[in-house]
Amino acid sequence: MGQIPVAEGIFTWPSDEPSLIGSRCTACAIVTFPQQDSCPRCGSTDMAEHLLARRGRLWAWTTQQFPPPSPPYAGPTGADFVPFAVGYVELGDEVRVETRLTETDPDRLAAGTEMELVVIPFRTDDDGNEVVTFAFQPVT
Ligand SMILES: [Zn+2]
């Protein structure tokens, strides 16, 4: 039993300072997240792994008050469901990442709020492993 990431190749783990793993087109320099095999802008297939900045600015967000459709949602449902916030965080002027937010109080979120990547527990799998996922929290 241990901690396992919700998916491989999404963020560096285990790590004291995890980073999201994106890709960067070597032809036109566009950055994507998650990683892609071909460039959405120029079509090049010469994409290199690119670690994203750990901090960025909140761009837009909303709160999720009920469980999303499953699949693809694989988190807690029914009485175990806890509302969460999702949003877009702009990282290093390179890319906007869709992410969970640790803060669900709308009064504590504002456009431009500085956010930092964290890895948080998501659920426990059938083998007793703690499945972890990434989120962004306001920098205090
Ligand atoms: Zn490109």
> Around Cβ 24, how many Cβ atoms within 10 Å?
21
CA 115 / ligand 1 centre spacing (Å)? 27
Render pLDDT for 20-61 as a digit per residue (tens, 0 to 9): 999 999 999 999 999 999 999 999 999 999 999 999 999 999
Helix (H, G, I), strand (E, B) or coil at 130: strand
Q: What is the pTM of this model?
A: 0.86
Render pLDDT for 109-137 as a digit per residue (tens, 0 to 9): 999 999 999 999 988 999 999 999 999 99
CA 42 / ligand 1 centre spacing (Å)? 4
CA 49 / ligand 1 centre spacing (Å)? 13
CA 97 / ligand 1 centre spacing (Å)? 18
CA 54 / ligand 1 centre spacing (Å)? 23
Closest CA to 6 of 137, 122, 135: 122
Interior angle at CA 113, CA 104 and CA 122, nearest 5: 40
Q: Which two tokens stand for residue 88?
A: 């877009």
CA 92 / ligand 1 centre spacing (Å)? 18
Average pLDDT estimate for 65-84 = 84
DSSP string, 39-85: -TTT----EEEEEPPSEEEEEEEEEE-SPPPTTT--S--GGG---EE
Residue 74 confidence (pLDDT) above 80: no
Q: Which pLDDT score is estimated for 117? A: 97
Helix (H, G, I), strand (E, B) or coil at 108: helix
CA 16 / ligand 1 centre spacing (Å)? 32
Residue 1: pLDDT band with limits 50, 70, 90: low
CA 6 / ligand 1 centre spacing (Å)? 28
Closest CA to 133 of 84, 96, 63: 84
